[in-house]
A and B are shown apart, each in its own frame.
Chain A
Amino acid sequence: MTDHLDLLESHAIFILREVVAECERPVLLFSGGKDSAVLLHLAAKAFAPQALPFAVMHIDTGQNFPEVIEFRDHAVERHGARLLVASVQDSIDQGKVADPGPLGPRNRLQTVTLLDAITEHGFDAAFGGARRDEDKARAKERILSFRDAFGQWDPRQQRPELWQLYQGRVNPGEHLRAFPLSDWTELDIWQYIEREQMELPQIYFAHERDVVLREGMYLAVGPFVEPRAHETVERLMVRFRTVGDANLTGAVLSRASTLSAIVDEISLANVSERGATRGDDKFSETAMEDRKREGYF
């Protein structure tokens, strides 16, 4: 029987092929997180046995979990992909964005680095692993989402997107974001990873780690998170539900150390993945919409 995972997989593969056929220079944005890992896995399927017809690009804030960078390099090598790294530190050094300091948040700064890299390489389409269930602004976005010459998203002027007729025409300087995982939920992603027995960074699986509780989130003590005077370092069994910057991504208490245990945990969760773990979404009610308008992922 064809189940919902088969249909989601097929739809994503269809979108990947359609964008590659219609656009001149696509690129796949890859963070090493679970969603971009699924995206890369699907891209490899879409064009097998041929090599990936596009490069893979990491927008590197320099505040990564080392396990994720290790996984990134491993995954890129296994798929024979070409990796481009665009560095937020370079944007800071060039004076294009203000320096938030070594421990300051760099999430929003990525937009400048991303848009500069898109311009520099002349990309006219960028695949992303964003899902509509992640956030209320993403729930509104088209699968092929138009960006003007300034990289901006205008949620009031989205192109009609009927049936599965994805229309990828842009003028020079403009580009598209393409989201093949739009209709996947977090649970779909995990069920698919389990079905495909995919590899992931180890931080997604339960492990012991030194953490501090800050603003309701367990942050991993490390190079980007130093315990503050009043904070107590605890060693707890945790895992990460999402992977972002080490100083903004909270761990969740968990004993799920296998893919099937994670699927069980997610199917019973009562807090969303971004609500549980992402400091970058907590700035305001429309934090994601505001960042997306500027050209964020």
Chain B
Amino acid sequence: MKLAAKDLLRLATVGSVDDGKSTLIGRLLVDTRQLFDDQLSAVVAASEKRGVGDLDLSFVTDGLRAEREQGITIDVAYRYASTPTRKFIIADCPGHLQYTRNMATGASTADLALVVLNVAHGVKEQTRRHLCIAALLGVRTIIAAVNKMDEVNWSEAAYLSVVDELRTLSHELGFESVTPIPVSALLGENVVERSSHLDWYDGPSVLQALEACEAGSWTHSGTGARLPVQWVLRQNGGGRTYAGMLNGATLHVGDEVTLLPANVTTTVTSLTSGSGPRRAATAGLAIDVGLADETDAGRGDLLATAPLPQVTKEFVATVCWFGDQPLRSTQRLRLKHTTKVTPVRLREISGVVDIETLSVNPGGELTTNDIGLVTLQTADWLVVDDYRDNRVTGSFVLIDEVTNATVAAGMIGRAAFL
């Protein structure tokens, strides 16, 4: 049997606590037979041990002791599913406010967000926050599982009211595609199998919607080719090649590239990936590149094709603050952007996002889990694109110099909805 080539779809679950994210993923994995028999038996045994019925599907992904004891998700669980033509990487994210940093971790590389809502409660504050973060992180497609339909007697009116609320919010946040689906994750209705209780619904099941989505969109971008130099390889017989993960546009042998920030232009003479030399490389491939002219490129530099990125030491960014203490201008921070690490200073907090209204309140303080607009100044030159154009060259993290903790996720520029 020859297995067909598969593409790779990354998705993250988002939504408020107790709306059923983990149960939905558990159901999806069980009903698509992605769980092995022994894993399913272990979930049954754990459910019985804790007196939560025959099969608590949330135990499929809530694998930590504390999660099972408290019945909540603390950190992202990564699970995998496969169809003949597609591999799915599923990040099941926590819903609690205090674990927003973990949700952002799961959503940062997602091609799409699977938002789970309780039909009886609609869009909660935490649902808004998660959708807002997903939108900031550049997710453009959402599938909305309107869950617990069994608890409202499969009411179309209840479903439509949540869908209305969701569509209004999605429009404000600028999602390009929204697919709402009425489901009962608990009973497995409309997750994989179509529901017999929902005569009025003729759209796809969750699985059908997932199979129809475009894969790999998180690495798609509107920029030229970008190769942050990770490592310089010395070739046998002299010469050097420059290794890194390619993103943005396709790069070809013969392309003119500019080394930044030095601003030296040369030509690509060779491209090599894990499977050997090639004529062209696409986003997401680790490659090494040979250049026509001697350069002193090193880690932290960037090779780019036109249109070229910006070279800057001061810029506006949208940040999600994860630090336990509020962000201070006196705090000693480092910034990691692509393969470059540099000292950084906060110049100004120009505003803090009000999640309720999606407006930006001027000035103020950034406390844990706040989203704000800031101006940062770096010690070294950075080569950046606006995050909306490129999720790799537009993103950075802030690192506390003292504790080494990752205290913020940053996106260069200002999101359209802010």
Contact = CB atoms under 8 A, between A and B. Distances in A.
B397 A50 contact: no
B38 interface: yes
B391 A163 contact: yes
Interface in A40-55: 42, 45-50
A10 B274 contact: yes
Given A4-B8, A48-B233, A10 B63 contact: no
B241 to A, nearest CB: 10
Nearest to B65: A286
Contact of A132 (B68, B78, B82, B230): B78
Q: How large is the interface on B (under 10, 10 to 19, 20 to 34, 35 or more residues)?
A: 35 or more
By DSSP majority rule, is chain B's interface helix, strand, loop, or mixed?
mixed
Interface in A42-72: 42, 45-50
Interface in A248-288: 263-264, 267, 269-272, 275-276, 285-286
B7 A160 contact: no
Contact of B38 (A7, A267, A272): A272
A264 B1 contact: yes
Contacts of B64: 136-137, 140, 155, 286, 289
Given A49-B235, A156-B66, A183 B399 contact: no
Contact of A10 (B39, B77, B234, B286): B286
A263 B87 CA distance: 16
- Output the residue of A48, A156, A167, A187 with the most chain B CB within 10 A: A167
B23 interface: no
Nearest to B400: A169
Interface of B: 1, 3, 5-8, 36-39, 42, 45-46, 49, 61, 63-66, 68, 74-80, 82, 87, 89, 101-102, 104-105, 108-109, 216, 230-231, 233-236, 243-245, 273-275, 282, 284-286, 299, 322, 334, 336-339, 391-392, 395-397, 399, 404-406, 409
Given A46-B286, A155-B75, 20 more contacts: A10-B273, A11-B245, A13-B274, A14-B244, A17-B244, A18-B339, A42-B274, A47-B233, A49-B233, A49-B235, A132-B79, A160-B397, A162-B105, A164-B109, A169-B399, A182-B78, A185-B82, A271-B38, A272-B36, A285-B68
8 contacts: A132-B78, A135-B63, A160-B104, A164-B109, A165-B395, A185-B80, A185-B82, A272-B39
